[in-house]
Amino acid sequence: MSADLKLLQPVKIGSIDMPNRMVMAPMTRSRASADGVPNKLVAEYYWQRAGAGLIISEGAFPSAMGKGYVRTPGIHTEEQTAAWSNVTNAVQGAGGRMFCQIMHAGRISHPSLLPGGATPVAPSAVTPQGQVYTDNGMLDYETPRALETEEIASIVAEYAHATSCALDAGFDGVELHSASGYLPEQFLSSSTNLRSDGYGGSVANRARFPLEALDAMIDVAGADRVGIKIAPEMGFNDISDANPRETYSYLVDQLERRGIAYLHVARFPGEVDYFELLRPRFSGSFLAGVGLTRDSGEALLRENVADAAVFGQLFIANPDLPERFRRGSELNTADPDTFYSPGPEGYIDYPPL
Ligand SMILES: Cc1cc2nc3c(=O)[nH]c(=O)nc-3n(C[C@H](O)[C@H](O)[C@H](O)COP(=O)(O)O)c2cc1C
């Protein structure tokens, strides 16, 4: 029975041959240094999970201004790049494959996290409701500075630079983080983009920045090594769009023309079932995630809703998740108290079978 699991059958995604269809979701774990350098623990954590068909790294910032949380890693300096190459060597040495998720947090940040106490940047000066975790405890978000039109090209160039660092570090490809209320989604969404230049207003204008960032990544890595993550109607980080069906249909039609490796959709309950809406619009590989189990992930593949299933918390708690699925074994449960805490506890100490 288990041997027949579609989850455990090989698939090609972009230029990547995956031995199974189980993808480890990008997950921030906050174990890097203050300079955004991932240490040995990080290499060990990902190495333990190399049995995944594909690992997508935690979000890594493409410039110091893109950092959104304490102890998150970057992918733009030589030191960060060298440290990530230890991670990819460990994963690939164990037979795995790994993409780097490039994440610019935009307004979901705080001056205490940014160079010289700078104000976070965003498409518009719209203050996020809520609080940010800093070294001085929880603080309210501040009003971001709206980017000047002329500045935007330099942020797009940061995505290209980060992509070339990621390839230098040995990653197999890169994923644009265009979900969870960070910079690309801030441009895409009507609640956070009040611009009147070519980057705001119509859907085509709001989608311009994420697509330019993606194109910059494609120019460096090639389309078959680039993916994108979206999470329509997730609402995380105080973001919303007036017409998400229209916005995401447009975005995905543009993705379709680019021939990228995959579209990764984190599905949340809302007006629309985004697997139903978007799968038919996109002929590349479709990665589906959020709340999946062995059975529900398997069903998505069997019903041809997706080509691969993305697992987050299950991979945190079960480093050998594919093997556990194969054997139908019991699963460990993830402990949220150690998701973002420093150190090995709750990070590299979940027991394999
Ligand atoms: C601890 C933690 C950190 C996360 N960090 C990120 C991140 O850096 N980038 C991202 O795109 N999603 C992030 N997510 C969301 C996951 O990628 C995934 O969409 C989510 O966990 C739902 O999948 P699951 O139900 O299988 O856990 C994070 C989730 C968790 C639990």
Q: What is the pLDDT of residues 2-18, one digit of tens each?
A: 669 999 999 999 999 99
Query: How far does residue 24's CA lie from ligand 1's centre (Å)?
Result: 9
Residue with the smallest CA separation from ligand 1 atom 14 is 27
Report the C-alpha gap between 57 and 172 in whole angstroms. 11
- Measured from the CA of 72, which atom of ligand 1 is nearest? 8
What is the Å distance from ligand 1's center to 150 Cα?
33
pLDDT in tens, 161-172: 999 999 999 999
- Closest residue (by CA) to atom 27 of ligand 1? 312
pLDDT over 60 (residue 272): yes
What is the pLDDT, as a whole number, of residue 262? 98
Atom of ligand 1 nearest to the CA of 229: 11
Which residue ranges have their beta carbon within 6 Å of ligand 1? 25-28, 58-59, 101, 103, 177, 179-180, 229, 266, 289-292, 311-314, 339
- Three-point CA angle 338, 341, 347, nearest 5°: 55
Kindly report the protein residue whose alpha carbon is nearest to atom 10 of ligand 1: 26
Query: To test the ligand 1 pocket, which listed residue (22, 23, 24, 28) has its Cβ within 8 A of the most ligand atoms?
Result: 28
d(CA 120, CA 208): 20
Rounded CA separation 218/122 (Å): 23
**Which residue CA neighbors atom 5 of ligand 1 most closely?**
27
φ, ψ of residue 281 to 5 degrees: the values are -90, -5
Query: Tell me, what's the pLDDT at 136?
Result: 87
How distant, in Å, are the alpha carbons of 12, 24, 163 from that of 285? 8, 16, 21
With a cut of 60, say whether residue 348 has pLDDT above it.
Answer: yes
Atom of ligand 1 nearest to the CA of 291: 25
86 CA from centroid of ligand 1 (Å): 23
- The pLDDT tens digits of the residues spanning 281-307 come to 999 999 999 999 999 999 999 999 999
Residue 135's pLDDT is what?
A: 84
Span from the CA of 113 to the centroid of ligand 1 (angstroms): 21
**77-101: average pLDDT:** 98
Q: Ligand 1 centre and the CA of 335: distance in Å? A: 14
- Residue 33: pLDDT band (50, 70, 90) is very high
Burial per residue of 201-220, b for 16 or more beta-carbon CB atoms within 10 angstroms, e otherwise: eebebbbbbbbbbbbbbbeb
- What is the rounded average pLDDT of the residues 313-335? 98
Find the mean pLDDT for residues 168-197.
98
Structure token pair of residue 129: 């409701």
* pLDDT tens, position by position, 141-164: 999 999 999 999 999 999 999 999
Q: Give the pLDDT mean for 174-191.
A: 98
In whole angstroms, give the CA distance from residue 34 to residue 120.
18
Give the pLDDT confidence score for residue 2 in this predicted structure: 63
User: 312 C-alpha vs ligand 1 centroid, how far in Å?
Assistant: 6
Residue 220: partners with Cβ closer than 8 Å, 6 or more residues away: 160, 163, 164, 167
Question: Which residues have C-beta within 8 Å of that of residue 168, sequence separation ≥ 6?
Answer: 81, 85
Tokens of 242: 């007036």
Identify whether 182 is a catalytic site residue.
Answer: yes
Tell me how far the alpha carbon of residue 28 lies from the centroid of ligand 1, in angstroms.
7
Average pLDDT over residues 119-135: 96
Residue of 7, 22, 27, 56 best suited for mutating to test ligand 1, as the one with most atoms within 8 Å of CB:
27
Does residue 246 have a pLDDT over 60? yes
What is the distance, to the nearest Å, from the Cα of residue 185 to the centroid of all Cα atoms in its chain? 12
- Whether the pTM exceeds 0.85: the reply is yes
Atom of ligand 1 nearest to the CA of 334: 31
Which of the residues 182, 250, 262, 347 is marked catalytic? Answer: 182
- Smallest CA separation from ligand 1 atom 3, residue: 27
Residue nearest to atom 21 of ligand 1 (CA): 312
Per-residue pLDDT at 324 exceeds 80: yes
Rg (CA), the chain: 19
**Nearest residue (CA) to ligand 1, atom 28:** 27
CATH code at 2-338? 3.20.20.70
